[in-house]
Amino acid sequence: MRAALAAVGAAAALATTGAAEAAPAMWVVRDADSEIFLFGTMHALKPGADWRTPAYEAAYQKAEAVWFEAVVDPIEPGVISGLVERYGVDRERPLSSRLSPRQLKDLEAVLAEGELTVAKIDHLRPWAAALVLSMQPVRGGGASVEAGADMVVTRQARQAQKPIRAFETMEDQVRMFAGLPPEVELQYLVDVIAERRGKGVRKGSHADAWIRGDVGRLGKGVVGAMQSDMPQFYDALLKRRNHAWAEALSDQMAGEGVQLVNVGALHLLGDDGLPALMKARGYQVERIQ
């Protein structure tokens, strides 16, 4: 679930001038007595993915606390299924009744690739079904949430007893999807179906662009496309959340010390990305990787 919550995005990328050698993008925010490192993660990766750099390790060791979008490790049994049942199920309006015959046929073809049927997900709301479809190729390629950057660092911080903080709860994240306007929620599913069938804009390998620190490709190809094509989705998934997180980080900057923020890479891009928002608040912001 967590990986899927960041599998889509929105806006134009920040310039790469001054960045270090190709590696996942990272910025540092400074004032007189505080530093906050902003690291863009990929929530699902293949086991053994080589993304940790000396710059990231230095930031982790220096940080007095590490931040994530939400803390999901360990997960209480039944938490995810309970949230999906509460927010992602509509047994009165089957998913198949919301799609055109052509869209339904395409959905059947996409599900068959993962050995699923429409009957298996017909009770889901469109947003929940879209997440299922988005995760199929990720899992089919050997990636997992457990091997993702967020979970790897969460486990490391827990073992080291380093303080862990979060901007949201898992329920907050699920409610964000569940609160989408009905037409936006349905369009999200339709777009995912089209992309899986090769009829929509192909974003290429997000993981490859991420590990190279290619914010141009992620920003223009993913973030910018969402901002122009699905502005309400962009507003819910990225803009409103980023502004709330920037407010929380400004509160932290009012104190002193060093912290490391790990959030999905798309949250760091564009005019509504965290680096731009923190710079607009008057802090010194520098891309260091």
Q: Mean pLDDT across the stretch 114-121?
A: 92
Average pLDDT, the chain: 87
pLDDT of 4: 36
Q: Of the given ranges (54-68, 142-156, 159-173, 235-249), which has the lowest mean pLDDT?
A: 142-156
pLDDT in tens, 86-114: 999 999 999 999 999 999 999 999 999 88
Rounded to 10 degrees, the C-alpha dihedral 81/83/88/90 comes to: 80
pLDDT of 139: 75
Query: What is the C-alpha radius of gyration for the chain, rounded to an integer number of angstroms?
Result: 19
Q: What span, in angstroms and rounded, lies between the C-alpha atoms of 147 and 277?
A: 30
CB contact at 8 A, 24 and 289:
yes
pLDDT of 209: 86
Specify the pTM: 0.87
Q: Determine what percent of the chain is predicted with pLDDT higher than 70.
A: 89
CB contact at 8 A, 259 and 234:
no
pLDDT of 77: 62
pLDDT at 235 over 90: yes
Q: What span, in angstroms and rounded, lies between the C-alpha atoms of 217 and 221?
A: 5
Q: What span, in angstroms and rounded, lies between the C-alpha atoms of 148 and 73?
A: 12
Residue type, 259: Q
pLDDT of 80: 83
The contacts of residue 233 (CB under 8 Å, 6+ apart) are 8, 10, 180, 184, 187, 188, 226
pLDDT in tens, 275-287: 999 999 999 999 9
pLDDT of 73: 67
CA angle 16–144–178, rounded 5-degree value: 85
- Banded model confidence at residue 6, pLDDT cuts 50, 70, 90: very low
pLDDT of 85: 93
Q: What are the domain boundaries of the chain?
A: 4-287
Taking the alpha carbons of 276, 252, 38, 62 in that order, is the dihedral positive or negative? positive
pLDDT of 101: 95
Q: What span, in angstroms and rounded, lies between the C-alpha atoms of 263 and 105?
A: 36
Strands 164-168, 26-30: pairing is unpaired
Quickly count: other Cβ atoms within 10 Å of residue 230's Cβ.
19
**Where on the phi/psi map is residue 59: left (φ > 0), alpha (ψ -120 to 50), or beta?**
alpha
Strands 34-41, 257-264: pairing is parallel
pLDDT in tens, 17-69: 333 457 999 999 999 999 999 999 999 888 988 999 999 999 999 999 999 99
pLDDT in tens, 200-216: 444 446 778 898 898 98
CB contact at 8 A, 220 and 13:
yes
pLDDT at 128 over 80: yes
pLDDT in tens, 172-203: 999 999 999 999 999 999 999 998 887 544 44
Query: The tokens of 145 are what?
Result: 């949430």
* Longest CA span, the chain: 61
- Banded model confidence at residue 10, pLDDT cuts 50, 70, 90: very low
